[in-house]
Amino acid sequence: MLSDLRSYLQTHGRAPLTDIALHLQMEPDAVRPLIEKWQRKGKIIKLEGDDNCGGGCNKCDPETIEIYQWSDERPIKFHP
What is the CATH number for 36?
1.10.10.10
For residue 48, the 8-state DSSP code is P
Residue 58: is its pLDDT beyond 80?
Answer: no
Task: Grade residue 61 by pLDDT with cuts at 50, 70 and 90.
Answer: low
Instruction: Using only the alpha carbons of the chain, give its radius of gyration.
Output: 14
Q: Count the domains in the chain.
A: 1
Is residue 78 in some structural domain?
no
Q: Can you give the length of the chain in residues?
A: 80
Using CA atoms, how far apart are residues 67 and 33, in angstroms rounded to an integer? 15
The boundaries of the domain holding residue 17 are 2-70
What Cα–Cα distance (Å) separates residue 31 from each residue in 14, 16, 17, 73? 15, 12, 8, 23
Is residue 63 in some structural domain?
yes
Residue 53: is its pLDDT beyond 70?
Answer: no
pTM, to two decimals: 0.75
Question: What are the backbone angles phi and psi of residue 66, rounded to the nearest 5°?
Answer: -90, 100
